[in-house]
Chain A
Amino acid sequence: MIIEVKNLKKTYEGAVPVHAVKNINLNVAKGEFVAIMGRSGSGKSTLLHQLGLLDTPTDGEIIIDGVNLVSLSAEQKTKFRLEKLGYVFQAYALLPELTALESVYLPLMLQGVGKKEYIKKATKMLGEVGLKERVHHLPCELSGGEQQRVALARAIINNPKILFADEPCANLDSESSKTILNLLKKLNEELGQTIVMVSHDSEDKKYVERVIWLKDGLIEKEEKVS
Chain B
Amino acid sequence: MNIRASFFLAFTAVKRGSKGIVIMTILIMALAYVNIVFITSIFGGIIEGIEAEAINNQLGNIVITPGVDEKYIKNKAIEWIDAIPGVVGSATHYIDNAIISYDERNDGKDIKSGNWPVKSIDVPNEKKVTNIHNSIIEGSFLEPRDRDKIIIGKEIAGGHGGLMEEQSLGGVFVGDKIDVQFSNGIKRTYKIKGIFSTKGMQAVQMVFVTKKEMESVLNVNNWASEILVKIKNTGEEDVVINEIRQLGFQDEDIKRWDKLMGSTESASDSFGMISIILGVIGTFVAGITIFIIIFVSVVNKRVQIGILKAIGMGEGTIVLSFLMQALFYGIAGILIGISFMMFVLYPLFLAHPLDFPMAWVSLKITANTIMVSNISLFMASLIGGLIPAYNGVKKEILKLIKD
Contacts and interface: CB of A to CB of B under 8 A. Distances in A.
A binds B: yes
Interface in A112-164: 112, 138, 154-155, 158
B292 interface: no
Nearest to A45: B398
Contacts of B398: 49, 54-55
Nearest to B15: A97
Given A89-B401, A106-B5, A109-B2, A97 B13 contact: yes
A97 B309 contact: no
B313 A78 contact: yes
Nearest to B307: A93
Given A54-B398, A95-B304, A95-B307, A109 B312 contact: no
B99 interface: no
Given A93-B401, A97-B16, A97-B17, A109 B311 contact: no
A57 interface: no
Contact of A82 (B13, B307, B311): B311
A78 B5 CA distance: 15
A170 to B, nearest CB: 15
A109 B9 CA distance: 11
B8 interface: yes
Interface in B303-319: 303-304, 307-315, 317
A107 interface: yes
B2 A54 contact: no
A6 interface: no
A203 interface: no
Contacts of B315: 74, 78
Contacts of A32: none
Contacts, number: 71
Interface residues of B, number: 25
Interface string A74-88: 110011111101010
Contacts of B12: 97-98, 102
Nearest to A105: B8
A112 B5 CA distance: 9
Contacts of A49: 398
A154 B311 CA distance: 9
What 8 pairs across the A-B complex have the smallest Cβ distances?
Answer: A82-B312, A81-B312, A97-B16, A93-B307, A54-B397, A97-B12, A78-B314, A109-B5
A93 B5 contact: no
B56 to A, nearest CB: 59
Interface in B171-217: none
Nearest to B4: A109
Interface in B1-25: 2, 4-5, 8, 12-13, 15-17
B17 A54 contact: no
Contacts of A98: 12
7 contacts: A78-B313, A81-B310, A83-B312, A93-B401, A95-B308, A97-B12, A107-B311
Contacts of A75: 314
Nearest to A86: B311
Given A78-B309, A95-B307, 15 more contacts: A54-B398, A54-B401, A55-B398, A79-B312, A79-B314, A81-B312, A82-B311, A82-B312, A87-B311, A102-B8, A102-B12, A110-B317, A112-B2, A154-B311, A155-B311
Contacts of A55: 396-398
Contacts of A83: 312
Contacts of B401: 54, 89, 93
Contacts of B307: 89, 93-95
Nearest to B12: A97
With a 10 A CB-CB cut-off, give which of B17, B311, B315, B396 has the most chain A CB atoms: B311
Interface in B68-111: none
B397 A110 contact: no
